[in-house]
Amino acid sequence: MTERALAGIRILDLTQFEAGTSCTQLLGWLGADVIKVEPIGGEQSRRNRPEVPGLDATFFLLFNANKRSVTIDLKHPEGRALFLKLAESADVVVENFAPGLMERLGLGWDALRTVNPRLIFARLKGFGLSGPYHEYKSFDMVAQATGGVMSVTGFPDRDPLLCGANIGDSGAGVHMAAGIMAACIARQRTGEGQVVEVSMQEAVASLIRQRYVAHYRDGKPTPRRGNNAPPGAVPDGLYPCAPGGPNDYVYIYVQPMNQGMWEDFARAIGREDLLTDPRCVDAPTRWENVHVLNDIARAWTGARPKRLVMATLAKAGVPCGAVLDTGEVLDDPHLNARDAIATFDHPTRGRFRVPGCPIRLSASEPETTPPPLAGQHTDEVLAEVLGLSPDGVADLRTRGVV
């Protein structure tokens, strides 16, 4: 196998739950040596609604592949000193603790850059390191609320909805991964490290930039509009399909955005007569007859299974997508043909399938290795990085440092 893209980059990963762990997992997929530094007993998400008492929760497994685990008590003076020793040869430290915790541990930016001026200190917070909200704690749903996405998600006559994708957590994590790689490239020129800061609120606000089109066009906040795009395209939205089995998500999203795609849609459903129908002459006229055309679309989709509808329309050039549930995504023939679903054998949870790395590099293919058990690599890392002997590590363990 060729050398992976981020080979040689060592990351000390202090992250927990999702926002930070999604960032470090992505960097681990791309080849960085991610050393997850956890409290003795492991970080909190190992115990986040565990399916099997005493074993790592699925939540943890989903965000911690491609990492090594070291357990250190950072509140212990010797544990803090041990971490700073590890930081001397690290490239990046990543943390998403509550505001001020790193400083209270004596591991703030001043302490870290003193031991390693080349170190990149990546800090992912709910509201950043400054501003009126900087001391506030956050989770994904808080970021979605304050970043604006919740206000534009759902139907106009109902309450705002939480987006099903954790864009506050993983969205912020992807932004942080980009920032870390940018800082690594800058360090090649300057020789100096720096602080990389990502706010979950700001990441969400950035991800919904398209929603500000209506804001400026109409001169008022963008409304919720359910499953439909802005007025104009018809058909556009979610359409029912024939049931394909019990508990089947029998829907497809169809979106022919321009005149050519509309014509492709009409031909694909066998309604060439609509091409000369005065109700369909152009997009504004079709919008005036939206209810009639939606009934035509629903009648056609409702008589066919969603995968047949998707294949028929997509091959005709019409943008569309069947609504796949989580099991269907894991079993999707396209994703599996592309090896986008990764399988690993976990030492306590057995065989496990997860979505794999979404980034592909032609010369350095990512791989997925099992998430580590808590402290699984403590002896290995302390020997490799600090040169400690087995007896030295055993002594630290006896005294509760690791």
Sign of CA dihedral 309, 313, 315, 316: positive
∠ at Cα 175 (331, 228), nearest 5°?
Answer: 60
∠ at Cα 339 (336, 345), nearest 5°?
Answer: 95
Question: Distances from the Cα of 59 to the Cαs of 15, 17, 47, in angstroms?
Answer: 14, 8, 9
Nearest-angstrom CA–CA distance, 212 and 199:
20
Question: Which residue is catalytic, options 169, 236, 264, 379?
Answer: 169
Element (DSSP H or E) covering residue 283: helix 283-288
Question: 248 catalytic, yes or no?
Answer: no
- Cβ contact 302:232 at 8 Å: no
Strands 251-254 and 320-322: antiparallel
- Cβ contact 145:138 at 8 Å: no
Which of these, 134, 207, 135, 136, lies nearest to 170 by C-alpha position? 207
Token pair of 279, please? Answer: 């109700």
Which of these, 335, 326, 331, 327, lies nearest to 358 by C-alpha position? 335
Token pair of 198, please? Answer: 């990502």
Collapsing DSSP to helix, strand or coil, 215 comes out as helix
Catalytic residues: 169
